[in-house]
Amino acid sequence: TIILCAQHQGRIVDDILTLSKLDSNLLVVSPDTVDMPALMEKCFKMHEAELVRAKIAIALRVHEGYRNLAVGNVMLDSSRLLQVVINLLTNAIKFTQFAERKEITVHLNASTTRPTEGMYDAPYVPFRANRPEHQFTAEWGTGDEVFLSLSVEDSGKGMNDEELKLLFNRFSQASPKTYKQYGGSGLGLFISRELTDLQDGQIGVHSEPNKGSTFSFYIKARRAVEFDSHIADAPLTTPTLNTPVTYTRDIAHPSPRTLHANPDVETHSAVRKLSAISNTHPPESPHLHVLVVEDNIINQRVMSQQLRRLGCTVHLANHGLEALDFLRTTQFWRLTAAEQRKLSVHEEAPSPRTTSPPPTAVPLSVILMDLEMPVLGGLETVKRIRALQDEGEIIAHVPVIAVTANARSEQIANAIDHGMDSVVTKPFRIPELVPQMEELVKRVRQYGRNGSLGAQRKSLSGGI
């Protein structure tokens, strides 16, 4: 977890430093010896946790051009190349995670002449008029020049022509809805364009609505060794060159560090329950059932592990819509007439306007809600929850605590105004948060007995 967090923070810092160096014309390309399939495997490993969580199948396809040239090791700037692939792969995961078919394929090809278009006839973004000419220096060696082509193909939502026109510009995304639903800064594709240009290459995209997207780019490199013609006749036996590689959880050993070539992917509920860890000495604190609504898998893992150690039962949701779906399974949700009719087969049915929860409802004590999330953010989610309370669909006050890095007083006040009972700012310690959750739950129960729900939240928000 620590390593993954460090890598994530490192990527953010890299983008910021890269942008600063690009603006100052200080970015240089430094070659090292690279095995391309191995570098791609490293890139896949960096995204393994995200791929596992989203149940996305990922594959590396090595094309005939690469095979026929028997490229072997090449001289290129692996960090700059990896930066481009990471940006494209991150986008592919982001737009594929909610698709019906979840597949990403990275294509690797090579040629001795400069490519004129990407996969599926994707046009490359034109070179800049004032770009400096790329020159190989002595540190690049004397191997033959070779153009390496990479494409990241996904099965996501795709884009229309108007959205495609907005790509590859600074702080630009396909549409205003993109940030709200998927997040992001709009810098990744701009930086990718600049980095490919710096390596005497180009980048482009082919996309159709509801048919996915394919981002293609190429760079110029050198062979790390002089070409030996007999190598071209040697068969390629590396399994990852031909076999699709799928990341999934091993059910017997639930670690994301499991790699399968052709697994039977086990489907999991979007909101999944993590069983509490049994301890020899159970905690003395009251048992809490906590829903953690957080889009960052690392934050999910850290919070859930610490809460479970303190005796809590933890449920997870990746965004606000999943949280609302989960609420429908809890004791807070009013039975519909159809649900009541189903119950009447076995027992006396309650009246159509009953406020009783489902008899098999999932217990829920409190929600910890992140604010910045794709699909549906925390503020809009809690606003909907309070509206459902007013409408009677939710039959009791749902305790919701905002978890955010926004620590300014006006931001905290805004969260309370939207319906949060309390706001906890990052960083925080879970052992200190649990007593606050217990106190909030206690006060909600008290108000449920002695006060109206209309005045309840306002009074609660001032006490924690």
- Band of residue 431 on the pLDDT scale cut at 50, 70, 90: confident
- The tally of domains found in the chain comes to 2
Q: Are residues 168 and 89 in the same domain?
A: yes
Contacts of 255 (CB under 8 A, 6+ apart): 249
pLDDT confidence of residue 9: 66
Q: Are residues 199 and 320 in the same domain?
A: no
Q: What pLDDT digit, counting tens, does each position of 412-423 carry?
A: 889 999 999 999
Pairwise CA distance, residues 135 & 226, whole Å: 19
Pairwise CA distance, residues 331 & 383, whole Å: 19
Residue whose entry in the numeric block shows the structure tokens 């986008």: 91
Structure tokens at 419: 């319906």
Instruction: Look at residue 209 and tell me if it is in a domain.
Output: yes
Q: Are residues 153 and 112 in the same domain?
A: yes
Pairwise CA distance, residues 315 & 254, whole Å: 17
For 22-27, what is the mean pLDDT?
68
Domain carrying residue 407: 273-461
Instruction: Look at residue 265 and tell me if it is in a domain.
Output: no
Q: Does pLDDT of 132 surpass 70?
A: no
Instruction: Look at residue 336 and tell me if it is in a domain.
Output: yes
Backbone angles phi, psi at 462, to 5 degrees: -90, 0
Instruction: Look at residue 71 and tell me if it is in a domain.
Output: yes
Contacts of 14 (CB under 8 A, 6+ apart): 83
Q: Are residues 69 and 112 in the same domain?
A: yes
Q: Are residues 219 and 350 in the same domain?
A: no
Pairwise CA distance, residues 285 & 310, whole Å: 8
What sections of 60-175 are H helices per DSSP? 64-69, 78-96, 161-164
* Window from 12-21, 60-69, 275-284, 372-381 with minimum mean pLDDT: 275-284
pLDDT confidence of residue 327: 95
Residue 234 is classified by DSSP as S
Residue whose entry in the numeric block shows the structure tokens 């070179």: 127
Report the CATH number at residue 305. 3.40.50.2300
Q: What pLDDT digit, counting tens, does each position of 218-272 carry?
A: 999 999 875 444 444 444 433 344 444 444 333 233 333 333 333 332 222 223 2
Residue whose entry in the numeric block shows the structure tokens 């499991």: 258
Backbone angles phi, psi at 81, to 5 degrees: -65, -45
pLDDT confidence of residue 364: 96
Contacts of 383 (CB under 8 A, 6+ apart): 418, 419
Q: What is the dihedral of CA 449, 362, 428, 51, to 10 degrees?
A: -160
Angle, helices 297-309 vs 2-23, to 10°: value is: 150
Beta strand 32-34 pairing with 202-207: unpaired
In contact, 16 and 190? CB cutoff 8 Å: no
pLDDT confidence of residue 207: 93
Q: Are residues 96 and 186 in the same domain?
A: yes
How distant, in Å, are the alpha carbons of 248, 250, 388, 393 from that of 332? 34, 34, 10, 8
Report the CATH number at residue 87. 3.30.565.10
Instruction: Look at residue 267 and tell me if it is in a domain.
Output: no
Contacts of 131 (CB under 8 A, 6+ apart): 197
Residue type, 102: K
3-state secondary structure of 215: strand
* Window from 264-273, 321-330, 397-406, 428-437 with minimum mean pLDDT: 264-273
Backbone angles phi, psi at 146, to 5 degrees: -145, 140
Pairwise CA distance, residues 449 & 136, whole Å: 77
Q: Are residues 223 and 281 in the same domain?
A: no
Looking at 209, 235, 260, the residue that finishes a domain is 260
In contact, 402 and 422? CB cutoff 8 Å: yes
Looking at 219, 238, 260, the residue that finishes a domain is 260
Tell me if the pTM is above 0.85.
no
Q: Are residues 346 and 414 in the same domain?
A: yes
Q: Are residues 322 and 256 in the same domain?
A: no
Instruction: Look at residue 128 and tell me if it is in a domain.
Output: yes
Q: Are residues 319 and 225 in the same domain?
A: no
Q: Are residues 294 and 355 in the same domain?
A: yes
Q: What pLDDT digit, counting tens, does each position of 79-131 carry?
A: 889 989 998 998 899 889 888 899 999 999 999 999 999 998 889 988 877 76
Looking at 229, 260, 291, the residue that finishes a domain is 260
Q: Are residues 245 and 310 in the same domain?
A: no
Instruction: Look at residue 266 and tell me if it is in a domain.
Output: no
> In the beta sheet, which residues pair with residue 108?
62, 150
Instruction: Look at residue 370 and tell me if it is in a domain.
Output: yes
Count Cβ atoms below 10 Å from residue 405 Cβ, excluding itself. 11
